[in-house]
A and B are shown apart, each in its own frame.
Chain A
């Protein structure tokens, strides 16, 4: 039979069509998907003997105890789960969403695996791997040159903490090297420390006996959203459900407001007037603690006159939008409660806030006599276990230390404040004092966390030498010249004193759970190595062989207890009695707040920007130096983040022109961003609320480029009394996208 062209083609085409119409392709597809389903790319976790290590989580200043479950395998130990440590005084078994995800940071792709030196332009992401010796030699060379030129004071160091041996080693190095510019990351801790210093005359942290308080008046503090030590506060909140009341005062129905017994919406930024209005009622109706006020306080009369004259409930109602009757009843229930407690510091407490407000709230606590009392506010002395001999300075360092600080802290204008990081970008950019030649960053991510991101980046670009000690490729590390990666908290020893807001002095010990996964080095050891390379007086100030030796020696007889129990606490600690609690000039509690309700001005004019933009915080969005690991960002609701777009909350009345989920352009005097709108009835009309903690540009692809960093839209506002950043919002407008 002859096969012609036509019949050949018919066979091929007919065959193809026939096959396509038969179940064969579908059957093959089905078979191959079932077959490939069993391919070994789904990991089989290796099993082994299980053990547990107790340690401390340092992902936030909360300092919770953790118990890490490990599996021993042929290739070394694997940490497989972080749980809360039972019996730890801070969190007793509970743990937060970030702490639970710590292993994703340990094993995650954001780790800096070896010292890196920048090769491309700043922030371009081009790096060269260098050895530890080279990296340390480079730092020593640069610092040596500056010192030789008598410019040691042009070195600055930004640190996440100033307590504990690592932070103290950093500070000690800076001192003996000759720079006054050790700067701690700002938070409400600054405002509270200053309040304690001015009104009680003590240098101490503030502790809140929240477990025993039975009436908590919170001026915008995110009590269950990360304020203080988060797990401890959530536990206290559960206790208040059974025996206590919480009143939350803020313009937005936050989770704290929703969980409280009463939510009082207030015009944003007018809190201080409300505090003094409450004080007015308490004083006028003689509901205050006469024992405390008459015997242990000074300047009360003056305070009383101003409060009585200027802050009547009717006047305050006009300013705050809270009715006079509410103010009266609030004051009465606060003063009549057996253990009332007033707290402030908005959201997570990452913005220091207005000193006036803190002092007014502290005065309210003093009026009801709960200073250093059960359920009240305690002055907690700084832990004193670090007793190193004073450094011996040579002439260069003594000269350097005499120079004024670049951020203006301790200057004539701001004499009592210790650190003013929010002023640093402006100080560098304006070039008023002296240029910063080298900047070291440890345990902090200022490029992301400091307001007015553009100014911060500009300032960073003006500093010729930036060194990051970050374990992760965060925004600051990405914009540095040299990265000397620290071990992460699960790989290192470190003392963790004084969890924020705790009323008892305790020290926790972070322990290595697994061996260092990469070519990283403990920051403590790096400081020792740098100091030793200098030799001379600088080397002499650091006599220890290694960080571990230094830590053991410093903790002395507490070491064994720390290793066995995971923490040391002073069970005999009681706050000072009123007779000897106050070291002010008068020896008494000083009602310093002269009732000046100088409200903090908001940036922007009302005509061009009719709305007010405020930030809000959530447990599910880490907004400090650590960004959300994959598990945490996964828990974020789709009314906060949708795809890569941030969602802002607006009252439906204000957002009439915008559909739910629709796009809008949000502009402030500092910048603008495309956002999506969420109609939320729990927010005052005229206000736009934006979540903090999004808009990362660094970290991994699970977090980067999602949403907007709130700091791009707001700038710092200097508090006239302290110089700390007191910005609570910024004027804004919404336009159609």
Chain B
């Protein structure tokens, strides 16, 4: 694994998603698909085979009418840090096709190295990884809208959310051209963050105390980045994957839905 670059401060890009604001409108999903050249098939209703780097889940509180409640939960790749970069998927990849960058905190996916063993998919507890069972097909003429910044994937490889890494590269190129080594907060934002009409997604560097993500989630470095904000939680916190996507909710049942509990156990995710 690459050690951190000496000439720039190490970043730890992460996300905070406010579930109180998220309306489940799906804009983040479409923004991601069009930014990252994600393909589509005639039938996408089998969600196990539907490639969605960003997927919005619908949670229900399991209560009867009229106490029933629902909440939407957008799920990008969590870009787990694990302990010292040992993300679940990175540890199992036999092809070095996925790696944890200590420079940015982003878990990469290199399609040309991937040979499709899908160990990473088995290892990922968040179902954030998708396998290309078929070559992508765009209807005649539609390949015109494909972005040159992200290569379309071929059959037989795994793909996942990259936190729009190409946007980081473009922003860094621009900064270097202007003689800077550091990015402003607004210079690097993911496509879903930019599109979200509710302003529910916030993106930034968790190592930078001035960035909104850090101020909202208040990660506790002594406890593997656990949020100190009582409304914040991470998915499956107990697995110790140390994910970099934080969620906010004012509702107890939503926070509790973020982890697994045995019946009658008290607590709510991070507490």
Residues of A within 8 A of B (CB): 33-34, 37-38, 41-48, 71, 78-84, 91, 93-97, 100-101, 103-104, 106-109, 224-225, 230-231, 234-235, 237-238, 241, 253, 255, 258-259, 263, 265, 517, 619-620, 630-639, 641-644, 651, 653, 680-685, 700-702
Instruction: Check B148–A107 contact: CB distance below 8 A.
Output: no
Instruction: Check B60–A700 contact: CB distance below 8 A.
Output: no
Report if A265-B65 is in contact (Cβ < 8 Å); known contacts: A46-B148, A259-B23. yes
In the complex, which of the residues B42, B50, B194, B197 contacts A235, with contact meaning CB atoms closer than 8 Å? B197
Instruction: Check A255–B26 contact: CB distance below 8 A.
Output: no
Contacts of A253 in B (CB 8 A): 68-70
Instruction: Check B147–A81 contact: CB distance below 8 A.
Output: yes
In the complex, which of the residues A44, A104, A234, A637 contacts B198, with contact meaning CB atoms closer than 8 Å? A234
A93 to B201 Cα, complex, angstroms: 13
A656 to chain B: closest CB distance in Å? 14
Instruction: Check B30–A43 contact: CB distance below 8 A.
Output: no
A42 to B39 Cα, complex, angstroms: 11
Instruction: Check A81–B44 contact: CB distance below 8 A.
Output: no
B191 to chain A: closest CB distance in Å? 8
Instruction: Check B70–A84 contact: CB distance below 8 A.
Output: no
Contacts of B196 in A (CB 8 A): 94
Kindly specify which of B89-97, B150-158, B203-211 makes contact with the partner chain. Answer: B150-158
Report if A109-B142 is in contact (Cβ < 8 Å); known contacts: A44-B151, A258-B69, A259-B23. yes
Q: What are the 7 A-B residue pairs with the smallest beta carbon separation, nearest first?
A: A94-B197, A681-B68, A45-B146, A47-B148, A619-B25, A635-B26, A103-B145
A37 to B135 Cα, complex, angstroms: 8
**Interface residues of chain A: helix, strand, loop or mixed (majority):** loop
Q: B5 within 8 Å of A by Cβ?
A: no
Contacts of B25 in A (CB 8 A): 96-97, 224-225, 230, 234, 255, 619-620
A109 to B30 Cα, complex, angstroms: 19
Excluding A46-B148, A82-B34, A630-B40, 14 further A-B contacts by CB distance (< 8 Å) are A42-B152, A44-B152, A93-B194, A107-B141, A107-B144, A224-B25, A230-B197, A238-B200, A255-B23, A634-B33, A636-B45, A641-B45, A681-B63, A701-B42
Instruction: Check A43–B138 contact: CB distance below 8 A.
Output: yes
15 A-B pairs, CB-CB below 8 angstroms?
Answer: A42-B135, A42-B136, A45-B148, A79-B145, A81-B35, A97-B27, A100-B31, A107-B142, A234-B23, A263-B66, A631-B29, A634-B29, A643-B46, A681-B62, A683-B65
A231 to B197 Cα, complex, angstroms: 6
Instruction: Check B197–A100 contact: CB distance below 8 A.
Output: no
Instruction: Check B40–A80 contact: CB distance below 8 A.
Output: no
- Nearest residue (CB) in A for B199 is A238
Instruction: Check A80–B68 contact: CB distance below 8 A.
Output: no
A574 to chain B: closest CB distance in Å? 28
A94 to B27 Cα, complex, angstroms: 9
Q: B270 within 8 Å of A by Cβ?
A: no
Contacts of B34 in A (CB 8 A): 81-82, 100-101, 103, 631
Contacts of B198 in A (CB 8 A): 94, 224, 234-235, 237-238
Report if A238-B21 is in contact (Cβ < 8 Å); known contacts: A48-B148, A109-B141, A631-B30. yes
Contacts of B200 in A (CB 8 A): 238
Instruction: Check A682–B142 contact: CB distance below 8 A.
Output: no
Contacts of A684 in B (CB 8 A): 65-66
Instruction: Check B140–A83 contact: CB distance below 8 A.
Output: no
- Nearest residue (CB) in B for A96 is B27
Q: B24 within 8 Å of A by Cβ?
A: yes
Q: B180 within 8 Å of A by Cβ?
A: no
In the complex, which of the residues B67, B139, B195 contacts A83, with contact meaning CB atoms closer than 8 Å? B195
Q: In this complex, which of B56, B60, B141, B156 has the most chain A Cβ atoms within 10 angstroms of its Cβ?
A: B141
Contacts of B70 in A (CB 8 A): 253, 255, 258, 682
A35 to chain B: closest CB distance in Å? 11
Contacts of A265 in B (CB 8 A): 65-66
A48 to B148 Cα, complex, angstroms: 8
Contacts of B66 in A (CB 8 A): 263, 265, 684
Question: Which residues, 60 to 106 on B, are CB-close (under 8 Å) to A?
Answer: 60, 62-72
In the complex, which of the residues A47, A109, A685 contacts B139, with contact meaning CB atoms closer than 8 Å? A109
- Nearest residue (CB) in A for B20 is A241
Contacts of B52 in A (CB 8 A): 634-635
- Nearest residue (CB) in A for B48 is A638
B24 to chain A: closest CB distance in Å? 5
Q: B47 within 8 Å of A by Cβ?
A: yes
Question: Which residues, 112 to 162 on B, are CB-close (under 8 Å) to A?
Answer: 135-136, 138-148, 151-156
Q: In this complex, which of A619, A634, A651, A683 has the most chain B Cβ atoms within 10 angstroms of its Cβ?
A: A634
Instruction: Check B136–A106 contact: CB distance below 8 A.
Output: no
Contacts of A108 in B (CB 8 A): 139, 141-142
Contacts of A42 in B (CB 8 A): 135-136, 152-154
Report if A235-B199 is in contact (Cβ < 8 Å); known contacts: A81-B34, A263-B66, A631-B40. yes
B259 to chain A: closest CB distance in Å? 22
Instruction: Check B65–A638 contact: CB distance below 8 A.
Output: no
Question: Which residues, 210 to 225 on B, are CB-close (under 8 Å) to A?
Answer: none
- Nearest residue (CB) in A for B156 is A37
- Nearest residue (CB) in B for A265 is B66
- Nearest residue (CB) in A for B142 is A107
Contacts of A258 in B (CB 8 A): 69-71
Contacts of B33 in A (CB 8 A): 631, 634
Q: B178 within 8 Å of A by Cβ?
A: no
A634 to B44 Cα, complex, angstroms: 5
Q: B58 within 8 Å of A by Cβ?
A: yes
Q: B43 within 8 Å of A by Cβ?
A: yes
B109 to chain A: closest CB distance in Å? 16
Report if A619-B47 is in contact (Cβ < 8 Å); known contacts: A101-B30, A104-B142. no
Q: B268 within 8 Å of A by Cβ?
A: no
